[in-house]
Amino acid sequence: MKKVLILLMSLMLACGCAFAEDAVTSATLEIDKLSEAEAEENGILVVWFSPDDTTKAAAYAIAAELKADMFEIAAEEPYTADDLNYFDSKSRSMTELKDNSIRPAIAALPEDLSRYDTIWLGYPIWSGQAPKIMYTFLESVDLSGKTIIPFCTSNSSGIGSSAVNLQKAAGEDVKWEKGGRIKKGSNAEDIARWVREICTTEASE
């Protein structure tokens, strides 16, 4: 029975289908349940890193609005609560931020990005910057010719220099849009409205 369940889950992920899950317990967003959506073949992928549920909840809301496929950047060595203690200068997260050479290993990379034209790239803000695992991702995949729209979740810090630094890591042959921050307390409709505004701005340029 366990092998059957694992196989079913693998098939669902392979088909690019998003699905509703239980309450998002540790999110700082006003989202009680992950948005349910059926992905379409529209060339859009939502990629996110979320050591707690916050950025994950935002990613699901974005994917539901866009009917996009999803891919989670999962650390090969998962982050613990102690690792995410931003008040401890010796914690894993803070140690990684201080060392520009660190590239945390990713459990798995997308098998094929060729069918995607636009990638929404999400991450939490750690002391004003993106986690170093985002650099691991950007330096490990070919994003040539694609449009990247960054989004971050944060209690107070804007996307600011975190997006600028990630853009440099992505390479020159990538169209990098402005993106933005999803504020604390946002709900699924707030996020969907923000996505529509971003898409409208892009279409008018």
Distance (Å, whole) CA 57 – CA 35: 8
Residue 1: its pLDDT value, please?
41
Strand-pairing partners, residue 69, are 45
The correct CATH number of 18-204 out of 3.40.50.360, 3.40.50.300, 3.40.30.10, 3.40.309.10 is: 3.40.50.360
3-class SS letters over 150-193: EEEEECCCCCHHHHHHHHHHHCCCCEECCCEEEECCCCHHHHHH
Query: What is the reported pTM?
Result: 0.85
pLDDT digits (tens, 9 = 90+) for 104-114: 999 999 989 99
**Encoded tokens for 127:** 């002391």
Q: Which helix (H) or strand (E) holds 63?
A: helix 54-66
Residue 21: its pLDDT value, please?
42
Compute CA 11 distance to the chain's CA centroid, rounded to the nearest angstrom. 22
Backbone dihedral angles phi then psi of residue 174, each to the nearest 5 degrees:
-135, 135
> What percent of the chain is helix, strand and coil (3-state, nearest 5)?
35, 20, 50
Q: Which of 108, 164, 165 is nearest to 141 (CA)?
A: 108
CB 140 within 8 A of CB 109: yes
**Encoded tokens for 186:** 């946002």
String of b and e for 144-167 (b: at least 16 CB within 10 Å)? Answer: eebbbbbbbbbeebebeebbeebb
pLDDT digits (tens, 9 = 90+) for 116-166: 999 999 999 998 999 999 999 999 999 999 999 999 998 887 898 999 999
Strand-pairing partners, residue 181, are 152
pLDDT digits (tens, 9 = 90+) for 32-80: 888 876 788 899 999 999 998 999 999 999 999 999 999 999 999 999 9
